[in-house]
């Protein structure tokens, strides 16, 4: 004769295990969502601090864009326009808040489109992920991040002062 209480206990243990598993998964999901929102809010707050500092120290007409650049130093890069309609790029050091703002006039640089058009002629690529300004050793750079023909994530850096290639690096895709 089959003991129904043994079956009932086994079924109840299975239900408890499944219930606990679902609760743990939901809690982990909720924590991941919270962490994602916290990190994004932190980034937004840092951008707001940078914008306040730039607006306080420089008299700007408008701010076009703000981005992050991680080279040897972590910068916020602010693309803006002065009251004299001069396009500028401001590098704000995020590791040392006491450092002076580094300001460049875009009119002193080779046009981005000229560098990008020449790059497109010289490089075989599948997709461009993004293009942004950077600063390394007080040299303003244009960073081009793309997927090359060999499925490698690649970074190319061009000097904005003269449009010359500065450096580059590619990372192989080990999953293929």
Whether the CA torsion 38, 44, 47, 53 is positive or negative: it is negative
Q: Closest by alpha carbon to 152, among 164, 167, 170, 169? A: 170
Average pLDDT over every residue of 95-103: 89
* Residue 146 lies inside a defined structural domain of this protein: yes
Q: Which two tokens stand for residue 4?
A: 């129904």
* Residue 147 lies inside a defined structural domain of this protein: yes
* Residue 176 lies inside a defined structural domain of this protein: no
Task: Please tell me whether residues 67 and 122 are part of one structural domain.
Answer: no
Q: What is the CATH number of the domain that holds 91?
A: 3.10.450.40
> What's the pTM?
0.73
Helix, strand or coil, per DSSP, at residue 31: helix
Residue 74's alpha-carbon distances to 20, 70, 119, 140, 146, in angstroms, are 43, 5, 26, 14, 21
Helix, strand or coil, per DSSP, at residue 64: strand
Boundaries of domain holding 90: 1-104
Q: Which residue has the higher pLDDT, 33 or 7?
A: 33
Task: Please tell me whether residues 99 and 145 are part of one structural domain.
Answer: no
Query: How many structural domains are present in the chain?
Result: 2
Model confidence at 102: pLDDT above 70: yes
Task: Please tell me whether residues 84 and 126 are part of one structural domain.
Answer: no
Q: What is the pLDDT of residues 80-97, one digit of tens each?
A: 998 888 999 999 999 888
* Residue 22 lies inside a defined structural domain of this protein: yes
Residue 122: Cβ within 10 Å count: 9
Q: What is the pLDDT of residues 34-76, one digit of tens each?
A: 888 887 776 666 788 888 888 888 888 888 999 999 888 999 9
pLDDT band at residue 175 under the 50/70/90 scheme: low
- Give the Cα separation of 140 and 121 in Å (integer): 22
Task: Please tell me whether residues 88 and 7 are part of one structural domain.
Answer: yes
Task: Please tell me whether residues 126 and 94 are part of one structural domain.
Answer: no
- Give the Cα separation of 164 and 95 in Å (integer): 28
Task: Please tell me whether residues 96 and 18 are part of one structural domain.
Answer: yes
Task: Please tell me whether residues 91 and 23 are part of one structural domain.
Answer: yes
pLDDT band at residue 79 under the 50/70/90 scheme: very high
Q: How far apart are the first and last CA of the chain?
A: 57
Q: Which two tokens stand for residue 174?
A: 């080990």
Long-range contacts of range 170-173, CB-CB < 8 Å, 24 or more positions apart? none
Average pLDDT, the chain: 87
């Amino acid at each position: 004769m089959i003991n129904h209480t043994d079956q009932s206990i086994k079924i109840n243990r299975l239900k408890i295990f499944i219930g606990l598993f679902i609760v743990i998964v939901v809690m982990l999901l909720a924590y991941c969502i919270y962490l994602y929102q916290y990190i994004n809010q932190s980034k937004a707050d840092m951008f707001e601090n940078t914008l306040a500092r730039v607006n306080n120290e420089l008299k700007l007409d408008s701010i076009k864009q703000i981005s992050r650049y991680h080279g040897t130093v972590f910068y916020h890069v602010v693309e803006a326009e002065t009251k004299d309609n001069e396009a500028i790029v401001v590098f704000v050091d995020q590791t040392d808040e006491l450092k002076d703002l580094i300001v460049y006039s875009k009119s002193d640089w080779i046009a981005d489109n000229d560098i990008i058009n020449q790059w497109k002629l010289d490089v075989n690529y599948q997709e461009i992920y993004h293009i942004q300004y950077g600063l390394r050793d007080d040299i303003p750079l244009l960073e081009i991040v793309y997927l090359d023909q060999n499925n490698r994530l690649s970074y190319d850096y061009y000097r904005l002062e003269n449009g010359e290639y500065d450096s580059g690096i590619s990372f192989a895709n080990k999953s293929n």
